Amino acid sequence: MSSTPLRTPLATWHETHGGRMVDFAGWWMPVQYASIVDEHLATRQAIGLFDVSHMGRLTVEGPASLAWLESLLTRRVADLAVGQARYTLVTSDEGPDGLAILDDALVTREADAPDGTPRLAMVVNASNRDRVVAWLRSQLPAVGVSLADRTAETAMIAVQGPLAVATVCVLCGDDDAGRISGLGTYRATRAVVAGQPAAVSRTGYTGEDGVEVVVAADAAEAVWQAIHDAGRPRGLKPCGLGARDTLRLEAGMPLYGHELLADSDPFAIGLGLAVNLDDAAARPRRFPGRDALAAMKRSPAPRVRVGLAFDSRRAAREGSPVVAVGLPVGTVTSGSLAPSLGHAVAMALVDRAVAAADTPLDVLIREAAQPAKVVPLPFFKRRAPQT
Amino acid sequence: MAADMKFAKTHEWIRPEAGGLATVGISAYAVEALTDLVFMQLPAVGRKVKAGESIGEIESVKAVSDMYAPVSGEIVEVNTALPGQLETLGKDPYGAGWIVRIRPDDQAEMGTLLDQAAYDALVKS
């Protein structure tokens, strides 16, 4: 990793507003401003404002772009409607058994070009961006698709929480506000937010309602500040990566490098929905690693992802052993205090025999056995939005 | 703050008390740096410890840290109320947020620790 972390267009804002900055995946990012717990709870109760500009943003355009991505991604994309987003895995066939999961990604079909040419956007993890871009470039056809890495020239702002959408809408004209508030989950639109052209999607990584807003890098601070100021009277807090992690953990969402690894079995970790082995007409699709994934689906893995709930606030951490009557049965992949719940939770990969809800297990936390029980994911589910 | 309070580089403070005892806690700087405290494990009363030895753990949302004995001695009392009200550490780290009382083997050992000015310089650097 380079010695000087990259700065998002909002790094100076974070530094001047008390952000505790760390090097995360090569980016200089706030882990928190004051309290992770307060930031977490503000997101659950009102609005959390997150700089997620470190995430990789790619565009794929051209007459063959839909067909090309359809041939590369585990999820069907050929039938994406304009303004629709899907969660997918990015795989190559260069792994030991003909499969390497390079990343998980969100692919969105943005508004077509005026001549009808499809335009797609992909958001990938910061830690995987270089190798995903290199892999995709190696697979480009001679003509018909152009791939661009837009990470440096744009910023991405996540506005999450029950009051998030309404707050963004006050910064938009009536037409745009109506379209944004009417967006379904995993739907996206173009809009002008705080006077700046933006791509707005009803997506996020917190388990809350909310949007993610992509704007030009030089507009980022103005848009961020406008959302911040509009949301402040409603309880908005700027949030760092610490709260982002506790929120996604409570929401039971996997994180690449923790729950999801290059050799993971997606069907065993609750990501079967991200793998379409067949097309809509039940014919086998073709994409890298498809045969290996089909074999995984036929032969279920011995260990599956579960949620663990503790009575205590003491957190298991990644790598903590899970035991049942003294025998090793699994490993924790993520763990923390769950601020919304007031006790610790963890996600773990455990043997199927002990994966049923309410199974009592022990987790070794610094050698001490801590009692836990298996609970359904997600740990936290938001209330239905008030209408 | 008492003029005779000393600090370890690992952010514990120690203050001599009557009867040859000393009270130990963690500095306001350390509490502020940790934030979001969720769990604390205290040592057993009667345990003999060496300077620099772990006397327990303090855990925040993000990380677990050891707490270290600033001097060698015997743990004679622990603040059993503290793990149940960790917010006390933020409100009063040098008073109600005390962690253990220790009977130092050698009172002079405290003289090897940092005074307030030296500790302040350490955490500002």
**What confidence score (pLDDT) does residue A2 get?**
55
Q: What is the average per-residue pLDDT within A50-62?
A: 98
* pLDDT of A76 strictly over 70: yes
Tokens matching residue A115: 């001549």
Q: How far apart are CA A63 and CA A141, in angstroms?
A: 12
Is A36–B61 a contact, with Cβ atoms under 8 angstroms apart? yes
B61 vs A34, A242, A366: nearest CB:
A242
Most A CBs within 10 Å: which of B32, B38, B54, B67, as the mutation test of the A interface? B38
Helical axes A36-45 vs A241-250, angle rounded to 10°: 60
* pLDDT of A287 strictly over 80: yes
Q: Give the rounded percent of residues in chain B with a pLDDT score beyond 70.
A: 98
Distances in whole angstroms, Cα of residue A245 to Cα of each of A156, A205, A237, A267: 17, 9, 16, 23
The CATH code of the domain at A11-55+152-250 is: 3.30.1360.120
List, for chain B, all residue ranges whose pLDDT scores fall below the cut of 50. Answer: none
Tokens matching residue A343: 């006790």
Domain locations in chain A as residue ranges: 11-55+152-250, 57-149, 302-378
Is B36–A317 a contact, with Cβ atoms under 8 angstroms apart? no
The CATH code of the domain at A57-149 is: 3.30.70.1400
Is A317–B39 a contact, with Cβ atoms under 8 angstroms apart? no
- Considering the domain A302-378, what is its CATH architecture? Beta Barrel (2.40)
Q: Which residues of B touch A317 (CB under 8 A)?
A: 64
**What confidence score (pLDDT) does residue A123 get?**
98
Tokens matching residue A342: 């007031």
* A226-273: pLDDT as tens digits: 999 999 999 999 999 999 999 999 999 999 999 999 999 999 999 999
* pLDDT of A386 strictly over 70: no
For chain A, say whether B57 makes contact (Cβ under 8 Å): yes
**What confidence score (pLDDT) does residue B2 get?**
67
**What confidence score (pLDDT) does residue A275 get?**
98
Q: What is the average per-residue pLDDT within A316-335?
A: 96
Write down the pTM of the prediction.
0.94
**What confidence score (pLDDT) does residue B39 get?**
94
Tokens matching residue A85: 């987003």
Helix (H, G, I), strand (E, B) or coil at A338: strand
DSSP string, A19-39: -EEEEETTEEEEEESS-HHHH
> How many residues are listed for chain B in this entry?
125
Q: How far apart are CA A32 and CA A20, in angstroms?
A: 6
φ and ψ of A194, to 5 deg: 50, 40
Is B64–A31 a contact, with Cβ atoms under 8 angstroms apart? no
* pLDDT of A110 strictly over 60: yes
* pLDDT of A304 strictly over 90: yes
Is B61–A336 a contact, with Cβ atoms under 8 angstroms apart? yes
Average pLDDT, chain A: 96
For residue A341, what pLDDT band results from cuts at 50, 70 and 90?
very high
Q: How far apart are CA A78 and CA A71, in angstroms?
A: 9
* pLDDT of A1 strictly over 60: no
Q: How far apart are CA A75 and CA A272, in angstroms?
A: 10
For chain A, say whether B32 makes contact (Cβ under 8 Å): no
Tokens matching residue A319: 């790598």
Domains observed in chain B: 6-97 (2.40.50.100)
* A352-377: pLDDT as tens digits: 999 999 999 999 998 899 999 999 99
**CA closest to B66 among chain A residues:** A366
φ and ψ of A134, to 5 deg: -65, -45
Cα–chain center distance at A372: 27
Is B39–A313 a contact, with Cβ atoms under 8 angstroms apart? yes
ipTM over 0.95: no
Q: Which residues of A touch B38 (CB under 8 A)?
A: 313-315, 337, 344
